[in-house]
Structure 1
Amino acid sequence: MKPGPRRSVSQSDIVDAAFEILEEKGVAAVSVRGVAGALGLTPTAMYTYFASKNALLQAMVEHLLTGVSDASAPDWRDRVVAVALALRAKLAEHSGSLVLVTSGPLDGPNALSLAERLIESFVEAGLTVDDAARAGHAVRAFVVGQSALETARRAAPVEVSAVQPLWSDSRHPLVEQTTGLALDGGGDEEFAAMLERVIDGFARA
């Protein structure tokens, strides 16, 4: 984005500019001063919208999570999977998004709606509110962790499956037997299959 004079901007403009910087330079480059420069504003003007870098990052997280809690399905289990898939898709949209969602507490309105949706679904399954909250947290942690592994795989300089591991021997027969599952890059179907195992652990409690 080329900096230039802007007579007026909105918070949405600022967040969009911040995401452009995130994509191009990484989360460390996202700052009030940097975004102000991209929009042709002074840092002082930026502070009228966001009081600090943390406030800007929180707004970016909220933007990222927009619509995730709207994912729906009639059955509670399918609803949990739908929400998890929606969150995974959002995290895949922007490089650096994983750093964003792990940079502070997820306590904005969209983040809380996501947590509420998962808790409601597990309560519908018969869990107590406390156990439903634990289950919802586990689902979010699974999505973030799995997304991190998938991001690392996409960033690998070579196709891992095309390389014969140097450590391949009889000491890891079960690992070698299951290498075809592509656990860190098998698409929505493999992701959902793993998530179902996580859900099963709570549903049977």
Structure 2
Amino acid sequence: MNERPGRDRSSAGDPVRTLELLWREPGQGARRGPKQRTTVDAVVAAAIRIADADGLDALTMRAVATELGVTPMATYTYVPGKAELLDLMIDAVYLQMPRRDFTGKSWREKVSAIAQDNLAMFDSHPWLTYLPTTRPPLGPGMIAKYDHELSAFDSLGLSDLEMDGALTYVLGFVNSVARIAIDSHRAAADSGQSDGQWWERAGPLLERVLDGDRYPLASRVGTAAGQAFDAAYSASHAYEFGLARVLDGLADLISDR
């Protein structure tokens, strides 16, 4: 599942046509004439299946058409192209995310739940991890996700900009950890070796060439981490340790209010 970070991004298509599709405005999803063989929702679902299985490089309008059993040209009657399709896919995934009931929960519990739900989303849809969304698809899924996640910071005395910044901070952390996990899995798949097997081969040579007196911290800390994780990195440890620090940082901001 090779991705090419930066090649694809959200909101790269025509904004008006994309918004019409996202909100299923009349004239985009429905056509007059012969009975339609599929729907916009079916096209989006097929595209997500392809991306989940084989990554964005495998996602083409022709591949979607094959998945649906229609001609490539027929697919364009539902979605103008891949740029608009990507926004529809992102929004559909966002719409399917769980919206936990936060009643009676502390802000730490709420933020932790948001982080966990986003991590699970990236695990289920790895292609989303590398798809820039600095111009987010402003569809019903994205709006519902944003509104729900902002509620974790509501009534804490934060300004609107601080609430937006706090959420961006949390989601940025989750995305970075998700990349570590995905990259680790891909490295193992590409090399045919687990992290532990790789270290078994590299370790003896490293012990001979690494001067512990010259690099005392790297030697000591690196050895401790390697022994604990059987790898250079542990995505689960990075997530647990990092989330605690994220929450502590937000606690300082919130306590000031």
2:235 paired residue number: 185
- State which structure, 1 or 2, has the greater radius of gyration over its C-alpha atoms: 2
5+ residue gaps, structure 1, are 1-5
Matches of 1:117 and 1:193, distance apart in 2: 25
1:192, distance to aligned residue in structure 2 (A)? 4.0
Q: Distance in 2 between matches of 1:160 and 1:168?
A: 23
1:58 is matched with 87
Select which of 144, 151, 173 maps to 1:142. Answer: 173
Does structure 1 residue 201 correspond to structure 2 residue 249? yes
Once the two structures are superposed, what CA deviation does each residue of 1:146-184 show, in whole Å capped at 9, x if it has no partner? 101011112232332462652584231334434526863
Distance 1:85 1:72 in 2: 14
With over 3 angstroms needed to count, the CA separation of the structure-2 counterparts of 1:203 and 1:123, relative to structure 1, is farther
Structure 2's unaligned 5+ residue stretches are 1-34
Range with bigger deviation, 55-64 or 190-199: 190-199
Cα deviation, residue 90, structure 1: 1.4
1:46 counterpart letter in structure 2 = T
Q: Deviations over 1:58-105 (max 9, x none)?
A: 111122223436034322221111111111111111342323x42663
Moved more, 195-204 or 138-147: 195-204
Distance in 2 (CA, whole Å) between partners of 1:69 and 1:105 is: 23
> How high is the TM-score relative to the length of structure 1?
0.80
Determine whether 1:18 maps to 2:47. yes
Match of 2:221 among 154, 174, 177: 174
How many Å separate the matches in 2 of 1:112 and 1:39?
Answer: 29
Per-residue Cα deviation, 1:4-34 (whole angstroms, up to 9, x for no partner): xx96212232122212322444202212232
* 2:84 partner letter: A
Q: Secondary structure at the match of 1:66?
A: helix
Work out whether 1:96 is the aligned partner of 2:130: no
Quick one: which amino acid aligns to residue 68 of structure 2?
A: L
Q: 2:75 matched to which residue of 1?
A: 46
Q: Aligned in 2, Cα 1:113/1:168: closer, same or farther, shift over 3 Å?
A: farther
The answer to whether the 8 Å contact 1:88/1:143 transfers is yes
Give 1:105's aligned amino acid.
Answer: R
Counterpart of 1:171, as a letter, is L
